[in-house]
Structure 1
Amino acid sequence: MIAYGVDSPAVLGVMEIGVFFSLVMFGVVALQGYVYFRNCRNDRVRLKLLVGSVLFFELCHSVASCHAVYYFTIVLAGVPELLKPANSYSLSLTPVFETIITALVQGFFAYRIRLLSGRKHISLVCWGLCFVRFLGGMAMAAESFLDVPREPDYFQLQDHYGWLITSALNVGVVLDLIITVSLCFYIRQLYTPYNLPNEELIHRLIAWTIQTGLITSLTSIAVVISFQTMKYNFVWLALYTFLAKLYSNSLLVSCVFSGGARLPGQT
């Protein structure tokens, strides 16, 4: 085991890089939200509420991430390394917002599968996995919150509850793959010789579904791999920080792309 302090580039440095990159992604998500509300005014209120909620939680996630960096770089500046806490409430808040965002997005796509397929069984499986991933993320956040007052070694927390982090992320990967394959299959079923005006849109939706589903899945896999192989730094946390932005991006791209055409499965 390599001993890293809080000030180590492998801990604080990579966390800063992850937060800065997530802020860039937040700008992209905010722009997509603006485009959605400007161009898709005829969508149902519940879909607008979903998009608005995701944007709100993205803002909260970004604020919590920025405060964590501020806390470690400004508030704790000059504090001896051995006296610095290895965790903060703002850092513990980030998995809360990430978990909520992920659950909203994955739950929405499971609902879209229900509308596209006309069947419940695939959606029920997706909702079940989504609930398991939600519980895992919230349990991870709860354990982090409980250990903040004791100012523990953060790597000790990872050692004790690493199985929880890995399990939650692996469930998310499986769910992403199920959603991607199911959406591609049922969207492709919309293509008929009598639906030529929407042919281009259908192809775009299939391409988008594959791209965004693979991106979120591969990022989750990268988080798990870095967590298992580099436990004593924050490389995994840097990747995890902008994972929520990828899910939000996938939702907003879907809503914006399909905003003009009333295909089955659009709400």
Structure 2
Amino acid sequence: MTRGGEPYLLLTGPLFIGSLFNWSLLGTLVIQTYVYYSSRYNDSKWIKGLVVATLSLDIVQTAFATHAVWQILILGWGNPATFTELPWTAYTFPVMSGTVAALVQFFFSWRIWVLGRTNIAHIVAIVIDLVAVMQMIAGLVAGIQTAFIPIEKVGELKPQFTIWLAGSFGADVLIVVSMLWILHQNKGGISATNGLIDRLTVRVVHSGAVTAVAAGVELVLFILLSATFVHDTPALFLGKLYSNVLLANLNTRRRNDNTYSSGVITSIANSYVHPMFAVHGGSELHSTVEASATQLHDTTSAGKFSTNLSDHV
């Protein structure tokens, strides 16, 4: 038996599924934010401000997305014209996602700048910033232009959407590759340190792959199925993925850790020991780095290993 909604399945279904993921990831983000602030990290004000900004933007994005989905699936039920006259909140998807993604990418590029401490690392960090700005602007332009053209002509905006999604994907890949390069540069003859770096390498790949894969999937879906709303499924929660990755990285540290405080960042910049080892944390990482330090011949350098280490990766 044919159901009335089946002809519009590729329009209604993706919005419903995307909305479910959107709300689920918002719940996860709220919990992670609570854990972050209850841990009382001694972070710089701009780091705490970044957490507040991403959470606030994601709450607003969820409100906009819910309004759009409600207007289309509930109030517009049974009226095919609703798919050609979308609510204004539907055009905010690329705008909000691009903005949150850029903020998170700025954080990771800053971390590459601090950890790399080489001209190459600094150049890569600047490139990541430029790509992040580019994809954010492309998302803004795509969202605005979509509001002024018929829905069936959205496919004509492929360049704008491609720059937005390909930019997000490219920045994520650059971040992962850069962090892997920095980790690889610190491998040596100390087995304990090498084991630590191997574990951090897996973590970097996992966290970077989440957002890169989501942006890549959305790009492919938009190119292949731009006449449907299938590509809107990841678009609805892409920003939440970035925010959750940011909080997951900030929360993988010990309570009372002060890695991102101004004083620690200054000491990192002036340290003789590579900053990769001056900023790792957690009881496991602490013991690993401490064991590595005992194997160093240069006692002055070994003394640079702080007891208040934290995971900067």
Q: State the TM-score bracket (shorter-chain normalisation).
A: 0.7 to 0.9
In 1, Cα distance between equivalents of 2:191 and 2:56: 37
Residue 145 of structure 1 is matched in structure 2 by 147
1:178 maps to amino acid: L
Residues 199 and 256 of structure 1, relative CA distance in 2, 3 Å threshold: farther
Residue 157 of structure 2 is matched in structure 1 by 161
In 2, Cα distance between equivalents of 1:34 and 1:7: 43
How do residues 1-267 of structure 1 correspond to structure 2 at under 5 angstroms?
Answer: 8-78=8-78, 80-82=79-81, 85-119=84-118, 120-147=122-149, 152=150, 154-156=151-153, 158-189=154-185, 200=196, 203-258=198-253, 260=255, 262=259, 263-264=278-279, 266=312
Equivalent pairs: percent with the same residue?
A: 24
Give RMSD over aligned pairs.
Answer: 2.8
Contact 2:102 2:133 in 1 (8 A): yes
1:9 maps to amino acid: L
Residue 283 of structure 2 is matched in structure 1 by none
Contact 1:106 1:130 in 2 (8 A): yes
Kindly state the Cα deviation for residue 167 of structure 1 after the two structures are TM-superposed.
2.3
Unaligned 5+ segments in structure 1 are none
Question: Please, which moves more after superposition, 109-118 or 92-101?
Answer: 92-101
In 1, Cα distance between equivalents of 2:24 and 2:84: 28
In 2, Cα distance between equivalents of 1:125 and 1:259: 31
Contact 2:187 2:193 in 1 (8 A): no
Kindly state the Cα deviation for residue 206 of structure 1 after the two structures are TM-superposed.
2.9
How many residue pairs get aligned? The number is: 255
1:109 maps to amino acid: F
Residues 59 and 266 of structure 1, relative CA distance in 2, 3 Å threshold: same
Question: Please, which moves more after superposition, 188-197 or 10-19?
Answer: 188-197
Contact 2:138 2:160 in 1 (8 A): yes
Residues 50 and 194 of structure 1, relative CA distance in 2, 3 Å threshold: farther
Residues 259 and 176 of structure 1, relative CA distance in 2, 3 Å threshold: farther
In 1, Cα distance between equivalents of 2:68 and 2:110: 35
Kindly state the Cα deviation for residue 55 of structure 1 after the two structures are TM-superposed.
0.6
In 2, Cα distance between equivalents of 1:91 and 1:198: 48
Residues 207 and 44 of structure 1, relative CA distance in 2, 3 Å threshold: same
In 1, Cα distance between equivalents of 2:191 and 2:70: 54
Kindly state the Cα deviation for residue 205 of structure 1 after the two structures are TM-superposed.
3.8
In 2, Cα distance between equivalents of 1:6 and 1:209: 42
Contact 1:18 1:241 in 2 (8 A): yes
Kindly state the Cα deviation for residue 54 of structure 1 after the two structures are TM-superposed.
0.5
Highest relative contact order (Cα 8 Å, sep 6+), 1 or 2?
1
Contact 1:129 1:175 in 2 (8 A): yes
In 1, Cα distance between equivalents of 2:169 and 2:70: 31
1:12 maps to amino acid: T
- TM-score, normalised by the number of residues in structure 2: 0.73
Question: Please, which moves more after superposition, 203-212 or 164-173?
Answer: 203-212
Residues 209 and 86 of structure 1, relative CA distance in 2, 3 Å threshold: farther
- TM-score, normalised by the number of residues in structure 1: 0.85
Question: Please, which moves more after superposition, 203-212 or 162-171?
Answer: 203-212
Deviation string 1:122-147 (CA, Å, 9 cap, x unpaired) is 11111111111111111111112334
In 1, Cα distance between equivalents of 2:21 and 2:165: 20
SS at match of 1:235: coil
Kindly state the Cα deviation for residue 223 of structure 1 after the two structures are TM-superposed.
1.0
Residues 36 and 194 of structure 1, relative CA distance in 2, 3 Å threshold: farther
In 2, Cα distance between equivalents of 1:162 and 1:94: 15
2:44 maps to amino acid: R
Kindly state the Cα deviation for residue 198 of structure 1 after the two structures are TM-superposed.
11
Question: Please, which moves more after superposition, 204-213 or 17-26?
Answer: 204-213
1:121 maps to amino acid: I
Residues 189 and 195 of structure 1, relative CA distance in 2, 3 Å threshold: farther
Kindly state the Cα deviation for residue 83 of structure 1 after the two structures are TM-superposed.
6.4
1:180 maps to amino acid: V
In 2, Cα distance between equivalents of 1:57 and 1:258: 25
